[in-house]
Amino acid sequence: MGTTGGRRATSGWVTFVGSYLAIAGVLNVLWGAAALAEKRNFAEDGLIWSTLSTWGWIALVVGAVQLVGAFLVITRRSGGPVVAGALGFVGLLANFLSIGAYPIWSVILLVVNALILWAATVHSDEFA
């Protein structure tokens, strides 16, 4: 990466991972809030483990941490690819386990988190 006017040039992959991590965070926060507020919109009996309230809180926490991770990645803090990869994996796992409650939403988030995990691992050299 070169510098432009005293600043490091930002890689497209860093921007991609940061943006998608922010998108995943916002979507998880929305999913969690909706799961806590409007239980009638979800199929609670389709959950593999626990209740919809528990999964709502899990989604809220994962989403909030993903938003913090997006900030860390976009501002190029040390450990950016590790944080992004770990958060992509945690988001992937959480959405896979809650797929029974709201399948379409979970599949969308599975794809977003898989793209985060892929870009953070394959292009981790561009984060430096």
pLDDT tens across 86-97, in order? 998 998 988 888
1 assigned to some structural domain: no
Helix ranges, 1-128 (H): 12-37, 52-74, 80-97, 103-122
6 assigned to some structural domain: no
Q: What is the model's pTM?
A: 0.80
Q: What is residue 8's three-state secondary structure?
A: strand
Task: Name the domain count of the chain.
Answer: 1
Q: What is residue 15's three-state secondary structure?
A: helix
Q: How many residues does the chain have?
A: 128
49 assigned to some structural domain: yes
Q: What is residue 110's three-state secondary structure?
A: helix
Mean predicted confidence (pLDDT) in 81-89: 89
Report the distance separating Cα 85 and Cα 110, nearest Å: 14
What pLDDT digit, counting tens, does each position of 30-60 carry? 988 988 887 766 666 666 677 778 888 988 9
SS3 content of the chain, % helix, strand, coil (to 5): 75, 5, 20
2 assigned to some structural domain: no
3 assigned to some structural domain: no
CATH number at residue 83: 1.20.1270
7 assigned to some structural domain: no
50 assigned to some structural domain: yes
Closest CA to 94 of 21, 32, 19, 23: 32
Q: What is residue 61's predicted lDDT score, i.e. its pLDDT?
A: 94
Q: What is residue 105's predicted lDDT score, i.e. its pLDDT?
A: 82
22 and 67 Cβ atoms separated by less than 8 Å: yes
21 and 120 Cβ atoms separated by less than 8 Å: no
Domain limits at 38?
Answer: 12-123
